[in-house]
């Protein structure tokens, strides 16, 4: 059995480019982001990967990234499930603000705590702990059973929703998760054991 799970963060968005907190806002991909998504699909195709199921969030940047990847794989008709559970962390009142402006307003340390701590919420938003609380049950209920049944699954989502999954897959803790970076348009390839633990992991960078 393959038990293949591939995670991909969306390509660069317009707000990534402009250093803006995005969260549940819905900016489009930049030209670089489109190129990143296509390149991810090309690297997967070059390795002979094919998928049975695909999952993504309700946000356009992740959906567009997945569409471009599947196009490079010749799999435009692959069934795709979209769910709000895979959305990016909600940054609340920070969404739409330039990160440097936020630092000037609230201070470097406070903004770092909002961005990288595990359980501190930004004003009106979600902590990473909150994000884990919605992503992980969806993964266990919907994505993991498909993988354990031997299906090859790709998930196109966001930095923090994927960090939420990787925290569990990689056995990271509340103390170590702040150091994890998930780069745009870079497939992360997991093969799982029958007991759902990770057998192998590979980052398919350029």
Separation CA 94–CA 78 (nearest Å): 35
Q: Does the annotation mark 202 as catalytic?
A: no
Task: Give the residue from 27, 91, 87 showing the smallest Cα distance to 58.
Answer: 87
| N residues, the chain | 206
Choose the catalytic residue: 36, 64, 72, 88: 88
**158 catalytically annotated:** no
How far apart CA 67 and CA 22 sit, in angstroms, is 21
Q: Residue 48: what are its φ and ψ, rounded to 5°? A: 80, 20
**Helix (H), strand (E) counts: the chain:** 8, 6
Residue among 10, 36, 64, 158 flagged as catalytic: 10
Q: Nearest-CA neighbor of 44 among 64, 65, 63, 72?
A: 72
CB–CB of 54/81 below 8 Å?
Answer: yes
Which of 113, 92, 74 minimizes the C-alpha distance to 24? 92
Question: Which are the contacts of 112, defined by CB distance < 8 A and separation ≥ 6?
Answer: none
Q: Known catalytic residues?
A: 10, 88
């Amino acid at each position: 059995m393959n038990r293949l799970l591939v995670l991909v963060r969306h390509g660069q968005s317009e707000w990534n480019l402009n250093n803006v907190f995005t969260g549940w806002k819905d900016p489009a991909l930049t030209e670089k982001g489109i190129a990143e998504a296509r390149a991810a699909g090309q690297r997967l195709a070059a390795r002979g990967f094919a998928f049975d199921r695909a999952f993504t969030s309700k946000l356009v940047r992740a959906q567009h990234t997945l569409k471009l990847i599947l196009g490079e794989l010749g799999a435009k008709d692959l069934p795709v499930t979209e769910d709000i559970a895979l959305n990016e962390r909600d940054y609340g009142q920070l969404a739409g603000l330039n990160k440097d402006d936020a630092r000037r307003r609230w201070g470097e340390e406070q903004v770092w705590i909002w961005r990288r701590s595990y359980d501190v919420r930004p004003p009106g938003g979600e902590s990473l702990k909150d994000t884990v609380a919605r992503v992980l049950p969806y993964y266990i209920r919907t994505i993991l059973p498909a993988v354990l049944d031997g299906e090859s699954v790709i998930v196109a989502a966001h930095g923090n929703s994927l960090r939420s999954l990787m925290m569990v897959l990689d056995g990271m803790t509340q103390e170590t998760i702040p150091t994890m970076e998930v780069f745009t348009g870079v497939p992360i390839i997991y093969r799982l054991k029958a007991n759902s633990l990770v057998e192998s992991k590979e980052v398919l960078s350029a």
